[in-house]
């Protein structure tokens, strides 16, 4: 008698699909140095390429949230993964920066379709008592994808070239689309047919909660991607070998995963979201200052510890925001729309953050002045988070 293979929980497949999508956000960072030599990329151009995948979300996040609510969560995720796979496969064949930028923008559209419906799908697939902990795992999809890209990317780029790196991720994404299609049931989301898209959009934008989670996410994500995304470039300029650079950058991104998972667990145990926001933003501000402000006598290892604290404690923020988004959405049929609005502003932060930090570093002749950008982002983000979680009258 044959024993059936254990079934992978559908919610875990949804989270892994998000991680696969996030690989495309993080795949550029390990290849920047190679692209600079191969395509003549400048630092500011590299910053835009790093963040251009978020350009689609910056302009159309809420619109794609409306589309995802209309398509259905499962169908939207499969379509998004397919677009990512196709755009990455085509990107590996281009030889000019403008074409690569266009395909990065197309990857942004696929990324939106793949990740916006995920929190609603997770909510439909897990018991209410496990929702916060599972959303904590979902909140780690971006740093986990980034960490894997930074860990695996340098080796693939060194051995096979940046084009092969694009093609490997295209194949992995296509495979994940098939796995999700076969694993997640089509009837996972069973709420009534959604209202017309104009009504869903109007209800979402008329409520204050979606605005607060969206703007807070923008101020968090912009500074996080700017710091972590440029770590390989900073370490390479300092003379570190590629393998060491990849490991250190991956560790910094992986620290964010710990924060996300811890946030879900702490929320599950009743810790107030307000406390997590305060701890996250205050630590990010102090750690970025210690890392980049040129503190006299601070050794290199201590600066790296500060980077780990910046990313790790910052990880408390996104998972808490996803939990708040589920709470403040005007209704079940507007959850993807709410997450889309949140993603739109998060994408704006990730689009604007790296070029802004690169411009400040270029003007100052080094990274020592960039802590002004991260510090201001943390102060503003904390103020909005406190408004989001203020006690009801």
* Domains in the chain: ranges and CATH: 10-388 (1.20.1250.20)
Q: Per-residue pLDDT tens for 332-372?
A: 777 778 888 888 888 788 778 888 888 887 777 766 777 78
Q: What is the model's pLDDT at position 388?
A: 87
Lowest mean pLDDT among 107-121, 164-178, 243-257: 243-257
pLDDT of 130 above 60: yes
Report the C-alpha gap between 241 and 236 in whole angstroms.
7
pLDDT of 220 above 90: yes
Q: What is the model's pLDDT at position 241?
A: 66
CA 179 vs CA 10, 12, 77, 156, 375: distances in Å:
10, 11, 11, 24, 42
Q: What is the DSSP letter of 272?
A: -
Q: What is the model's pLDDT at position 83?
A: 95
Distance spanning both ends of the chain, measured CA to CA = 63
pLDDT of 1 above 50: no
Report the C-alpha gap between 205 and 194 in whole angstroms.
16
Mean pLDDT of the chain: 81
CA 324 from chain centre, in angstroms, equals 17
Report the C-alpha gap between 292 and 310 in whole angstroms.
12
What are the backbone dihedrals phi and psi of residue 368, each rounded to the nearest 5 degrees, phi first?
Answer: -70, -20
CA 168 vs CA 76, 175, 323: distances in Å:
23, 11, 33
pLDDT of 166 above 70: yes
Q: What is the model's pLDDT at position 353?
A: 82
Q: Which of 28-37, 83-92, 264-273 has the highest mean pLDDT?
A: 83-92
pLDDT of 2 above 60: no
Q: Per-residue pLDDT tens for 200-217?
A: 778 888 888 889 999 999
pLDDT of 245 above 80: no
pLDDT of 295 above 60: no
CA 296 from chain centre, in angstroms, equals 33
Q: What is the model's pLDDT at position 36?
A: 74
Q: What is the model's pLDDT at position 87?
A: 94
Which is it for the CA torsion 146, 59, 339, 169, positive or negative? Answer: negative
Q: What is the model's pLDDT at position 243?
A: 64
CA 187 vs CA 8, 72, 184: distances in Å:
17, 10, 9
Instruction: Determine what percent of the chain is predicted with pLDDT higher than 70.
Output: 84
Report the C-alpha gap between 276 and 319 in whole angstroms.
10
> Per-residue DSSP letters for 65-126?
HHHHHHH-HHHHHHHHHHHHHHHHHHHTT--SHHHHHHHHHHHHHHHHHHHTTHHHHHHHHS
Report the C-alpha gap between 328 and 234 in whole angstroms.
39
| In the block, residue with structure tokens 């909660």 | 209
How many CB atoms neighbour CB 76 within 10 A? 26
Q: Which residues fall within 8 angstroms of residue 273, CB to CB, at 6 or more apart?
A: 267, 320, 323, 324, 389
Q: What is the model's pLDDT at position 115?
A: 87
pLDDT of 296 above 60: no
């Amino acid at each position: 008698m044959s024993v059936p293979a254990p079934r992978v929980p559908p919610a875990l497949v949804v989270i892994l699909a998000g991680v696969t999508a996030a690989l495309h956000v993080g795949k550029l960072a390990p290849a920047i140095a190679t692209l600079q030599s191969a395509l003549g990329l400048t630092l500011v151009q590299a910053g835009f390429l790093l963040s251009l995948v978020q350009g689609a979300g910056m302009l159309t996040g809420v619109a794609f949230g409306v589309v995802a609510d209309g398509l259905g969560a499962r169908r939207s995720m499969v379509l998004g993964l397919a677009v990512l796979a196709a755009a990455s496969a085509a990107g590996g064949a281009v030889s000019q920066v403008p074409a690569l930028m266009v395909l990065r923008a197309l990857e942004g559209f696929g990324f939106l379709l793949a990740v916006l419906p995920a929190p609603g799908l997770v909510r439909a697939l897990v018991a209410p008592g496990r929702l916060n902990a599972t959303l904590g795992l979902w909140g780690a999809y971006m740093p986990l994808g980034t960490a894997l890209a930074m860990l695996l990317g340098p080796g693939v780029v060194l051995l096979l070239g940046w084009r092969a790196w694009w093609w490997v991720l295209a194949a992995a994404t296509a495979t994940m689309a098939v796995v999700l299609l076969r694993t997640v049931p089509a009837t996972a989301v069973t709420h009534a047919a959604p209202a017309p898209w104009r009504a869903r959009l109007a209800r979402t934008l008329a409520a204050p909660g979606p605005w607060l989670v969206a703007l807070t996410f923008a101020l968090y994500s912009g500074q996080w991607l700017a710091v972590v995304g440029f770590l390989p470039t900073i370490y390479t300029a300092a003379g570190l070998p590629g393998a060491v650079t990849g490991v250190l950058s991956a560790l910094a991104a992986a620290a964010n995963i710990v924060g996300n998972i811890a946030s879900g667990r702490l929320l599950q145990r009743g810790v107030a979201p307000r406390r997590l926001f305060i701890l996250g933003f205050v630590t990010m501000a102090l750690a970025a200052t210690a890392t980049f402000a040129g503190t006299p006598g601070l050794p290199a290892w201590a600066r790296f510890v500060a980077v780990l604290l910046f990313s790790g404690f910052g990880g408390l923020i996104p998972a808490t925001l996803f939990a708040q988004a589920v709470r403040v959405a005007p209704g079940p049929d507007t959850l993807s729309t709410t997450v889309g609005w949140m993603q739109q502003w998060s994408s704006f932060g990730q689009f604007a953050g790296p070029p802004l930090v690169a411009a400040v570093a270029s003007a100052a002749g080094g990274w020592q002045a960039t802590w002004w950008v991260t510090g201001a982002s943390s102060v503003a983000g904390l103020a909005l988070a406190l408004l989001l979680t203020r006690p009801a009258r």
